[in-house]
Structure 1
């Protein structure tokens, strides 16, 4: 029996709980297979899974160079915060953040990121903070990145949590808020890079804090693809140029 009496009601029996666990696992498998089927790549297409912030701010501005170098290749970017199951065919390759290793996946280290304090050059009417203490005195844009490591590198105590202000859980929104002059953001250099180069954001100090999650290019072990190999070589060259900048 799947149920047993509990007072005036019913509850799952031991057999019922085991059955429910198996059904949930089966439904998860069906869901993963369905998602993989929906994104099944076309012939000759390279599907690249990437987190939205990195795809938008780092990869996308550079991608035209790959397409110019390899006009025979067609690339489909698949942006998602969810970890794509490459072994189920969700994508050919993925650019992931994390420590790894990932079971069943080959991996190529790309680079380690760092955090820096950025703001619009128009913040405070152009009277920008120049010292770490002045940075902390400005309006912070609270995000998923904690300020404690930056404060430690600056030799300053972390300010107490603010009761008000702006709190954002997305790097794209955090960068946009900083660009609009709404405060100081602590963000990854990789995603702030394009805005810094265009002068829409400025780095307020020379303090750089190592980010805990490196970037990796990963793909299913035991698979071969000329498109993937071309993409990996191109990406390695782009990373080398980025590191030198």
Structure 2
């Protein structure tokens, strides 16, 4: 009888030890998971932003990769190199070509003197992280400000990320309400937004509202497709010129049509190509 009681006692203690171990493991996992989530929230600037980004990522996945076949994915992976920023360095002016008179007419607003002898052309995408890096550097505008009589800057649309063409059209629509400066302000806001590059169409429309633009009119302009042909035309131009990466930057002589590729990102390199 005594041995039976001892056995039962040992069994009970063993069960209790197992239960406590399981509880301890579960509690540890809970704490670790909580800390991981907390770090992720902090990385994104808070729980609300984190959940919004995760929702957008999930939606974009379901609407794109989630609907792709294995062959589609392989093809897209094969093209991925074309989306990277070109290597720095090399000889300035490599890839020189001559533009037609039609191509020399800017479709987008011009930063600087419109009839300047030289232009900086940036073929960019409003969802491209490397384009944001070039934009934030301020090199293009700095070069124009340093050479106001001879140089201007033109942003050329090469919008190949999913939401970029829509964002480009909204930015162009802002011109109708507040002129060309509104366009450059819009591009600034798109690249500066905390959700970049995951901003939605409604997010971008709201940016204009904060700048004093009529959101309903922006939406009406977008839905009308008023500027779609411009975005499409510049995309076609980029492909025709062999542009396969963003940002790709050229310095153009507007008198001769000669266009030289910029490989070193600096004001001095831009000025060198103006000689």
TM-score > 0.5 by shorter chain = no
Q: Per the shorter chain, which TM-score range?
A: under 0.3
Compare CA radii of gyration and give the structure with the larger one: 2
With structure 2 as the length reference, what TM-score do the two structures score?
0.22
Looking at secondary structure, tell me which structure has more strand per residue. 1
